[in-house]
């Protein structure tokens, strides 16, 4: 048994005993579980540095993680399926993704929202897998440390920064972090590099021009968590710090935690009254990439040789993996070229044109059923099309039978939001965008797709076929082709096609195969990037199309420019698309068909949307219970468009 110790901190009726449909009440269990694994067992071979971890008398390596379980009080009334939430940077995801529950503070994730997952009978567990979460209320992992001759391991890592204002000093923190993951060894070997855009070649800034310091009240003070540049850091530019540290947690034990917690709850748990027959893992963005990594490392088989996950719901991860299984990995990092941006990218086995390596993302003996769901932003980021096209972009791939790939047209990474009925133009990072952010709400699709995945696993009911931009039907275009169409809108700040990010062939030094890198990574040839073609309204034609796209009142994109005041205004803002409303009446400045010509009035628009919703339901893309939700969203956006129009 891999779970060697279970500490329960609280166990009680969930949400004061609220009952959810036929399933009834739930209970909530919080605690911490310790796992022990054999570093010499072949199924653990791919975990970098695991053999350097301290071992007990039995030769086992231990690590522990936080967990929160929400289970039907009477498991016989549930659906016998474990839904494993892989938290993003320690923050739980299920309620915000499926239960229509806004999550502002961490504990909001424990609220039931409209109760969707509870009424469906899922046993839900959220687990800590990330070793460097900052806050106590977030779910984390206690990872063992690699030692050589009983001494800490020294080495280098890289951190990337992009300031949104000119400033003298930068804090050495990554997205979602309050402090550096690794301490700086001030006497070590350190380097600072400068780029003007994502794929620009790095230029080293000589050490005398920068220091580990910050400026306070005009006075420079030494600091091990800041860097100071004599000429100042320029907004919109990219800076990369390569620094030396003296501690190497075994980051890949987070992957083992994801494997072991499901194996424990399916087979060995003593917490619940009965065993669960199926398990689905759900990951979003960072943690969707973690699930890609889990597949690549062959970790869907437990220590007894049994299948762990029957299904994976991989959401807005694109075709990348991440910093989850190499020495000095930083799980929060996304954009820095490193181990997670290497070939392969697709579930299908394909040849790398630059090395002739034949490989695919799925290297596990036990094959789960997999949904890849992406917004337009992951395509514009430069990688999502690599899931289903050859690396050179010359042809479509045939995906394995156990995989579906869905592109949600005209959407962006952080979901379609209106705050108090208005668009927003500020990202979670605090940076501003050139245009009001995308407002298409795709959550209803998520609920239906989860039900389809579950039905496929449990009952063998085939889900909808994949939908994505394809070369075969000429709906997959290069980004520059789409951007040309947008030059007709003079009020839109478009992107510089020469400064778009892309995935490139990387080399990380002579010890790359051991999971030990040299930085910055050497960047070589570009892999292809394709996005959806657009129609006359400049909306996307490929993928799953909600009424926002088929009956538009605006152009909805998966890209948005950085606000000019943030610097680099011709480059893409992280995570964001935009929604730009049509004019009410014809104008020479805007060639798109006006709203008043598209629809007679609000009632005409409503009638058309209702028909489109019925069609989506009949095609299996949405649940009957969510029809009114989609209609309300559509009418709200129509009213906002009329308000913003020029009529």
CATH code, domain with 355:
3.40.50.1820
> Domain boundary residue among 410, 426, 459?
459
Copy the structure tokens of residue 449.
């797709």
What global pTM score does this model have? 0.97
Residue 646 placed within a domain: no
CB neighbourhood size of 585 (10 A): 12
Pairing between strand 19-20 and 24-37?
A: antiparallel
What's the pLDDT at 646? 45
Which of 321, 293, 299 minimizes the C-alpha distance to 386? 321
User: Which helix (H) or strand (E) covers residue 351, if one does?
Assistant: strand 350-351
Helices then strands, each counted (H, E), the chain: 11, 30
Residues 230 and 283 in one domain: no
Residues 294 and 235 in one domain: no
Using omega within 30 degrees of 0 as the cis cutoff, is the peptide bond preceding 520 cis?
yes
Distance between CA atoms of residues 517 and 522, nearest Å: 11
What's the pLDDT at 427? 81
Residues 173 and 282 in one domain: no
Residues 339 and 201 in one domain: no
Distance between CA atoms of residues 108 and 128, nearest Å: 17
Which of 542, 540, 382 minimizes the C-alpha distance to 467? 542
Cα angle 178, 558, 197 (rounded to 5 degrees) comes to 60
CB neighbourhood size of 622 (10 A): 23
Contact 154/187 with Cβ under 8 angstroms?
Answer: no
How many separate domains does the chain show?
2
3-class SS of residue 138: coil
Residue 31 placed within a domain: yes
What's the pLDDT at 430? 78
Residues 274 and 420 in one domain: yes
Residues 117 and 14 in one domain: yes
What's the pLDDT at 647? 39
3-class SS of residue 266: helix
> Domain boundary residue among 459, 481, 511?
459
Residue 53 placed within a domain: yes
Which of 43, 16, 42, 39 minimizes the C-alpha distance to 27? 16
Pairing between strand 210-211 and 504-507?
A: unpaired
Residues 194 and 119 in one domain: no
> Domain boundary residue among 196, 212, 245?
245
Residue 603 placed within a domain: no
Contact 185/212 with Cβ under 8 angstroms?
Answer: no
Which residues have a Cβ under 8 Å from the Cβ of 99 and sit 6 or more positions away? 111, 112, 113, 114, 115, 116, 117, 118
Residues 326 and 390 in one domain: yes
Radius of gyration in angstroms for the set of CA atoms belonging to the chain, rounded to a whole number: 25
* Residue-range definition of the domain harbouring residue 401: 3-144+250-459
Residue 277 sits at φ, ψ, to 5 deg, of: -90, -25
CB neighbourhood size of 212 (10 A): 18
Residues 224 and 196 in one domain: yes
CB neighbourhood size of 404 (10 A): 24
Distance between CA atoms of residues 185 and 255, nearest Å: 28
Residue 254 placed within a domain: yes
Q: How far is CA 56 from CA 37, 48, 60, 485, in A?
A: 10, 19, 5, 63
What's the pLDDT at 1? 52
Residues 15 and 108 in one domain: yes
CB neighbourhood size of 270 (10 A): 8
Residue 34 placed within a domain: yes
The residue written with tokens 């219970």 in the block is: 625
Which of 424, 438, 372, 467 minimizes the C-alpha distance to 633? 438
Residues 166 and 303 in one domain: no
The residue written with tokens 């063992």 in the block is: 144
Pairing between strand 81-85 and 123-127?
A: parallel
* Cα first-last separation, the chain: 69
Residues 46 and 123 in one domain: yes
Residue 308 placed within a domain: yes
Residue 525 placed within a domain: no
The residue written with tokens 């006075």 in the block is: 219
Q: Residues of the chain whose pLDDT is less than 50?
A: 646-647
Distance between CA atoms of residues 470 and 398, nearest Å: 11
Q: What sign does the CA torsion over 239, 242, 247, 249 have?
A: positive
Which of 539, 520, 519, 542 minimizes the C-alpha distance to 472? 542
Which residues have a Cβ under 8 Å from the Cβ of 53 and sit 6 or more positions away? 39, 61, 144, 145, 146, 147, 250
């Amino acid at each position: 048994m891999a779970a060697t110790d279970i500490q329960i901190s609280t166990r009680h009726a969930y949400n004061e005993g609220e009952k959810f449909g036929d399933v009834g009440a739930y209970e909530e269990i919080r605690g911490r579980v310790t796992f022990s694994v054999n570093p010499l067992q072949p199924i653990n071979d791919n975990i970098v540095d695991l053999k350097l971890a301290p071992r007990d008398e039995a030769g086992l390596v231990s690590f522990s993680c936080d967990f929160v379980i929400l289970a039907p009080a009477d498991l016989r009334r549930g659906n016998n399926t474990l839904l494993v939430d892989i938290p993003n940077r320690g923050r739980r995801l299920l309620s915000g993704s499926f239960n229509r529950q806004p999550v502002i503070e961490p504990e909001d994730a424990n609220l039931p929202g409209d109760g969707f997952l509870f009424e469906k009978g899922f046993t839900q567990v959220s687990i800590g897998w990330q070793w460097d979460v900052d806050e106590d209320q977030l779910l984390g992992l206690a990872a063992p440390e690699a030692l050589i001759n009983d001494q800490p391991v020294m080495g280098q890592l890289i951190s990337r920064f992009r300031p949104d204002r000119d400033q003298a000093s930068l804090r050495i923190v990554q997205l979602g972090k309050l402090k550096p993951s690794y301490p700086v060894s001030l006497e070590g070997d350190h380097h600072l590099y400068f780029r003007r855009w994502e794929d620009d070649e790095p230029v080293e800034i000589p050490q005398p021009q920068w220091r580990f310091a910050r400026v306070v009240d005009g006075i420079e003070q030494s600091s091990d968590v800041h860097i100071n540049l004599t000429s100042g850091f320029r907004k919109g530019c990219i800076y990369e710090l390569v620094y030396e540290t003296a501690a190497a947690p075994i980051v890949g034990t987070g992957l083992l935690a994801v494997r072991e917690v499901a194996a424990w709850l399916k087979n060995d748990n003593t917490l619940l009254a009965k065993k669960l027959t199926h398990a689905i893992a759900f990951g979003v963005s960072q943690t969707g990439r973690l699930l890609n990594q889990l597949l690549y490392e062959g970790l869907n088989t437990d220590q007894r040789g049994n299948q762990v996950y029957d299904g994976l719901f991989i959401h807005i991860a694109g075709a990348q993996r991440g910093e989850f299984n190499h020495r000095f990995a930083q799980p929060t990092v996304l954009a820095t070229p490193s181990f997670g941006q290497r070939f392969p990218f697709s579930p299908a086995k394909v040849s790398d044109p630059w090395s002739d390596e034949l490989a695919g993302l799925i290297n596990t003996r036990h094959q789960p059923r997999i949904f890849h769901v992406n917004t337009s932003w992951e395509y514009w980021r430069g990688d999502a099309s690599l899931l289903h096209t050859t690396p050179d972009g010359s042809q479509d791939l045939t995906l394995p039978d156990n995989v579906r790939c869905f592109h949600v047209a005209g959407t962006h990474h952080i979901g379609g939001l209106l705050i108090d009925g208005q668009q927003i133009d500020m990202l979670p990072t605090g940076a501003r965008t050139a245009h009001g952010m995308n407002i298409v709400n795709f959550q209803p699709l998520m609920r239906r797709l989860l039900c389809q995945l579950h039905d496929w696993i449990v009952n063998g009911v085939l889900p909808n076929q994949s939908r994505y931009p394809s070369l075969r039907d000429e709906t997959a275009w290069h980004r520059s082709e789409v951007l040309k169409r947008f030059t007709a809108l003079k009020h839109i700040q478009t992107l510089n096609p020469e400064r778009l990010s892309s995935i490139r062939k990387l080399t990380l030094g002579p010890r790359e195969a051991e999971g030990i890198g040299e930085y910055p990574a050497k960047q070589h040839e570009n892999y292809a990037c394709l996005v959806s073609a657009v129609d006359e309204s400049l909306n996307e034609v490929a993928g799953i199309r909600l009424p926002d796209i088929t009956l538009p009142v605006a152009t909805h994109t998966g890209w948005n420019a950085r606000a000019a005041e943030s610097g680099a205004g011709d480059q893409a803002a992280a995570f964001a698309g935009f929604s730009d409303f049509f004019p009410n009446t014809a104008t020479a400045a805007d060639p798109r068909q006006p709203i008043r010509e598209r629809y007679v009035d609000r009632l005409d628009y409503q009638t058309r949307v209702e028909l489109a919703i019925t069609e989506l339901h009949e095609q299996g893309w949405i649940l009957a219970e969510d029809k009114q939700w989609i209609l309300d969203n559509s009418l709200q956006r129509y009213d906002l468009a009329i308000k913003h129009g020029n009529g």
